[in-house]
Structure 1
């Protein structure tokens, strides 16, 4: 089974995680493939919007460590490059959260321009429970987006946020009934395509540009801390 499905239509590239038996957990090969797809879309004149979503009942359950190389340094490098591709993506980036999101599936949401979510979704970042630390720049995007107090609840105290709470704190843009999510999301995307793409892209650049260097740097720092945790716990970089 192809674990990444890609569908290009009307200037939109839809990248779908397709590993429902593992709740769309992302492994090394998937990170590499998604990064390539996003980077290619960045320079493809026929693509205006990239949308990320999942197959089945889960959006994504985080990292799949059971299907990754023994050298976790390779996995961490792939994650770093994936996150950097999201930071640098110049066009509109949308997440269609079709179900629960865990770990990096949550921490990457602030890097998206719009997030459409199903009412059955929840958002869970159990880092301290797993003896890990924040990732995907969430150590700075979460406090900025939802405030210091809630960010601490999410990143330090393993708080599981429901969909309504995610809407209230700004983690997601729109909330829909499960059966309406796909149709409403596609309708929103079609409306975005009607707008001036130059205006949208330029405004995104103006909003993101002051923070790009900081985001890239904190991404590297977070990955370094995760690598150090692996060495401390296991004597090598295998988590």
Structure 2
């Protein structure tokens, strides 16, 4: 694995930065990148020195989602789905504050996992795109539940069924992101906000998040399993072998 596909940085104030770092492929995520993020989130959840994890991308894309070319090259195509399940579970189960700095377009799983974050800051030039039906599959990342919950059923259907590409300003208006910034101001101004979070009482943040997110945690885990089982069953390479889900 090229470990530089995922860059991590320990920042002051108990912050871990995770950067998707494959700009030539628009930060598309492969199997090993998923595994690395899972490990980082699990380690951070156990580390008493960490209070916040931040996700962002290198270059002008947050992430173009699953690396489809890599998916078709796995020795066992079904190796992908258990890892996707654990990747999404890592977001759902992360007990501390999870922040996304969306520095450009977020596609597929990069978009669907954003509602599982606690704060989402985005560049004005970003957009959000979930072309699942165009690919012949179905929604994942718990988006079949979270999108409707955040933006209403009509807009969720437009995105998840009819491949609507949501611009950043509309994402702000419907509550999908917290704030927008000009591209050249994003990193500077967002980090001011993140530092504010680190100055809050950590135990209070964690317990408050547990009260709010805990009400739907088990439901999200169940939805994640159902979504990925359906995706797995519909995969165009299904005939290659038996599902591991």
TM bucket (normalised to shorter chain) is over 0.9
Q: Does the alignment pair 1:115 with 2:117?
A: no
1:236 to 233, 240, 245: 240
Would you say the 8 A contact 1:230–1:236 is kept in 2?
Answer: no
> 5+ residue gaps in structure 2?
none
SS of equivalent residue, structure 1 residue 136: coil
Q: Deviations over 1:65-85 (max 9, x none)?
A: 322423122111111001001
The aligned residue for residue 81 of structure 1 is 86
Displacement of 1:236 after TM fit? 3.2
- Alpha-carbon distance in 2 for matches of 1:160, 1:40: 34
> 5+ residue gaps in structure 1?
none
Displacement of 1:192 after TM fit? 0.5
Displacement of 1:234 after TM fit? 4.7
2:18 to 15, 18, 29: 15
SS of equivalent residue, structure 2 residue 132: coil
Alpha carbons of structure 1 residues 237 and 208: separation in structure 2 relative to 1, 3 Å: farther
Q: Does the alignment pair 1:56 with 2:52?
A: no
- Alpha-carbon distance in 1 for matches of 2:93, 2:35: 16
- Alpha-carbon distance in 2 for matches of 1:30, 1:54: 13
Would you say the 8 A contact 2:232–2:238 is kept in 1?
Answer: no
Alpha carbons of structure 1 residues 122 and 237: separation in structure 2 relative to 1, 3 Å: farther
Report how many aligned residue pairs link the two structures: 237
Bigger mean CA offset, 175-184 vs 71-80: 71-80
Displaced runs of 4 or more, over 6 A: none
- Alpha-carbon distance in 1 for matches of 2:176, 2:69: 29
2:227 to 199, 208, 222: 222
- Alpha-carbon distance in 2 for matches of 1:48, 1:111: 17
2:173 to 168, 174, 178: 168
Spell out the pairing of 1:61-76 with structure 2 (5 A cutoff): 61-68=64-71, 69-76=74-81
Displacement of 1:237 after TM fit? 5.8
SS of equivalent residue, structure 2 residue 177: coil
Q: Deviations over 1:174-224 (max 9, x none)?
A: 100000000011100000011111111111100011111110011011110
